């Protein structure tokens, strides 16, 4: 079988580029998000006033990984986080919505909604599997 020289050049240059792109898209070289070091501090600062050991609104406790992952939505049917899918995770949906009457945490004088960098961190953690690492 004979391959035209132009086609061969395209193939030769496409393969390394495809490898570079897939490495960049998969987060090659990035350290996984740490629940203990990165997510728990956000939860402590923004969530545990209402979802702590003393006060657990909606029976949701966010003081530890086990308590957090064991908590479910108010209906009790859905977990707060669907590992691997932030857009199906109630926590991410409620934290990222633009509708103030649904958003968590609510915008009060004591607590404000998550800034974009914390939302991004939360989304990455859930996408990576919401692990206790």
At 35-91, the pLDDT tens digits run 999 999 999 999 999 999 888 888 899 999 999 899 888 777 889 999 999 999 999
Q: What is the pLDDT of residue 29?
A: 58
Q: What is the pLDDT of residue 2?
A: 54
Averaged pLDDT of the chain: 81
Q: What is the pLDDT of residue 23?
A: 38
Q: Which pTM was predicted?
A: 0.74
Residue 106: closest CA among 59, 36, 68, 50 = 50
Q: What are the residue boundaries of the structural domains of the chain, listed by start?
A: 1-30, 31-127
Q: What residues does 32 pair with on adjacent strands?
A: none
């Amino acid at each position: 079988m004979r391959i035209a020289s132009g086609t061969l050049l395209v193939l030769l240059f496409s393969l390394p580029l495809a490898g570079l792109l897939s490495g960049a898209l998969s987060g090659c070289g990035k350290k996984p998000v740490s629940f203990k070091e990165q997510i728990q501090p956000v939860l402590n600062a923004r969530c545990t006033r209402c979802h702590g050991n003393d006060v657990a609104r909606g029976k949701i406790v966010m003081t530890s990984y086990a308590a957090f992952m064991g908590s479910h939505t108010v209906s009790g049917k859905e977990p707060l986080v669907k590992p691997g899918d932030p857009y199906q995770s109630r926590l991410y949906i409620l934290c990222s919505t633009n509708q103030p009457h649904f958003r968590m945490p609510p915008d009060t004088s004591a607590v404000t909604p998550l800034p974009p960098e914390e939302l991004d961190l939360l989304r990455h953690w859930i996408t990576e599997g919401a692990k206790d690492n």
